[in-house]
A and B are shown apart, each in its own frame.
Chain A
Amino acid sequence: MKADRTFWIVPLLVLLTVVAAAVGLRTGAYPLTLDGAINALGQLWSGGVAQTAEERVLLDIRGPRVLAGLLVGAALAGAGVVYQGLFRNPLVSPDVLGVSAGAGLGAVIGIFLSLPALMIQVLAFTIGLATVALVYLIAVAVRGRDPTLVLVLGGVVVGALAGAAISLLKILADPYDQLPAITFWLLGSLASIRGTELWNVLPAVLLGLLPMVLLRWQVNVLSLGDEEAKALGVEAGRLRAIIIAAATLMTASVVAIAGVIGWVGLVIPHIARMLVGPNFERLLPAAMLIGASYLVLVDTLARSMARIEVPLGILTAVVGAPFFLWLLWRGRHGWS
């Protein structure tokens, strides 16, 4: 019975994602009917260059933004699912190993030095990766203790250090020009993402996704804990390194272009697990689809609910925090 029920959920989620994308494309300051949008898309598909206002809005502004929402949401939710399984803890989010803190530090350095946008993204990406690499090396150096625990603690320590460095730079930054940019970046936004940025990070996200898809069964087994996984024939240590690298690549890529968007990687995996269960084979696609739809819808809200854009991180926290409390309130069995 349960198998039948979950069978339909993934196709339904695909539909949900399409609807969310349509809503995102339609909604905005410049009114765009669905017919008009489809027409414009058809024109562009057949090789035309954007000419009408509708086509321009779609191609240059709203299209990339909706695609960015899909990509960022899917990547954060996917990385969250893997991390929760890996650390055997449903309260873990993709930034537990400090990737967001590191990327944040990179971006803040970039903004502080008034570097061009691309360089800021490159810095965010590389320092995000470097932070996780540092945490991983610390865990490898500390032998003889529970490796996942050491990883989490290392992530907390290094993350706090990055946070302190960010605070220092905020104090030193130009309060009229740089500080607002820093604050905005740290709260996350899809507003400045254009087509080129999407193309820049898409390969990295796909590269991160590949091992997750290929090693899906092994990841399931690893969620039983190191010892049991090893006894079942899984090279736990090596697998963990690969999965951390993959999830970090995915997270760092999207954080580099969208800033720090909290809660998605924490809350969406729970919703997905409630719908399809913990089996990674179904959980990964379900979480990525829900994450994609969720972020597009939240971003649509962020740019249409007020006269100014509300930073995404604020909205995801407003939605995520009560949901999370509800999970806690449901008690131990709520992890299902």
Chain B
Amino acid sequence: MRIELRDLAFGYPERAVGSDVSLTVEPGEVLCLLGPNGCGKTTLFKTMLGLLRAQGGEVLLDGEPLGQYSRAEVAQRIAYVPQAQTSPFPYTALDLVLMGRVAHRGVFAGPTLKDRELAMAALNELGIGDLAHRDVTRLSGGQRQLVIIARAVAQAAPLLVMDEPTASLDFGNQVVVLTEVKRLAARGAGVVLSTHQPDQAFAVADRVCLMRDGRIVAMGAPIETLTSERLEEVYGVAVSIERTRSGQIVCAPLYG
């Protein structure tokens, strides 16, 4: 599935957040959104999902306007990993992951055996099968984040929108999640994710979209887009982009 944003303006009727955003995500492609806090990444995501009304321009799924799809149809096509949320109710991790399957069944249905298998497989894929029967309100922030990502995997949508999926994760689990992103893309899913770490864009992204104040500053292949000049301009700190001996590209801030 292909998602296309055309001259999208987003935000709220009384407060515009961003405008003139045009981009497409093709199947199997990883697009990484970078930009300072408050530049509108989350608002853009919510508009892409139809949770917020577009203030101008349009969102197209396979060429059709987003508004023509029902909520369930959108959820069958786009899985969303929101920023860390807390539920007041102590669902088990498995129950929470199962909720990713609700769009695939009728409104009067309950989860089927197959849904349970898919949910369990998603938990195992992220290495947290042992948390299946644990109460999510008692998990750490990072574990909960992995559960939410597992839910998006179980949702089996051809496009994933992930809002800072590695934000609350420890070093090891960041790698787990980025590896999962690569695996999903290899299976043909499109992935849009936001991050604050240019390193992650170098590691997983096919294309990078650098944003500031609700507009796209630059978009393209990571190595061409994330130059030290641009990063300095957007984030206001000096950085050095270097290639490690193992061939990875990293971005290191230059502490004055």
Contacts and interface: CB of A to CB of B under 8 A. Distances in A.
Interface in A266-289: 273, 277-279, 281
A49 B212 CA distance: 83
A335 B99 contact: no
A229 to B, nearest CB: 9
A221 B102 contact: yes
B51 A232 contact: no
B133 A333 contact: no
Contact of B89 (A233, A278, A281): A278
Contact of A88 (B76, B82, B88): B88
Contacts of B78: 231
B110 A217 contact: yes
A233 B103 contact: yes
Contact of B99 (A3, A232, A277, A281): A232
Contacts, number: 102
Given A218-B107, A232-B75, A333-B138, A225 B85 contact: yes
Contacts of A234: 71-72, 102-103
B144 interface: no
A215 interface: yes
Contact of A233 (B13, B46, B72): B72
A251 B186 CA distance: 53
Nearest to B133: A2
Contacts of B102: 217-218, 221, 232-234
State which size class the interface on B falls in. Answer: 35 or more
A233 B110 contact: no
Contact of B108 (A214, A220, A227, A336): A214
A174 interface: no
A109 B48 CA distance: 52
Contact of B51 (A218, A231, A333): A231
Interface in B62-102: 70-76, 78, 80, 82, 85, 87-92, 95, 99-100, 102
B82 A227 contact: yes
Interface string A195-227: 000000000000000000011111011011101
Nearest to B85: A228
A218 to B, nearest CB: 6
Interface centre among B99, B103, B108 (most CB of A within 10 A): B99
Interface in B127-142: 133, 135, 137-138
A278 B90 contact: yes
A174 B143 CA distance: 64
Interface string A1-22: 1110000000000000000000
Interface size band for A: 35 or more
A212 to B, nearest CB: 11
Given A217-B111, A228-B85, A277 B71 contact: no
Contacts of A277: 90-92, 95, 135
B187 interface: no
A152 to B, nearest CB: 14
A90 B88 contact: yes
A279 B95 contact: yes
Contacts of B91: 220, 277-279
Contact of A223 (B50, B74, B87, B110): B87
A214 B109 CA distance: 7
A134 to B, nearest CB: 27
A237 B13 CA distance: 20
Given A216-B110, A217-B110, A228-B85, 13 more contacts: A144-B12, A214-B108, A218-B102, A223-B89, A225-B87, A227-B51, A228-B82, A230-B71, A231-B78, A233-B74, A277-B92, A278-B89, A279-B91
Interface of A: 1-3, 85, 88-90, 144, 214-218, 220-221, 223-225, 227-228, 230-236, 273, 277-279, 281, 333, 335-336
Closest 4 pairs (CB-CB, A-B): A233-B103, A233-B75, A278-B89, A233-B72
10 contacts: A2-B92, A88-B87, A89-B88, A217-B99, A223-B87, A230-B71, A233-B75, A235-B72, A277-B90, A277-B135
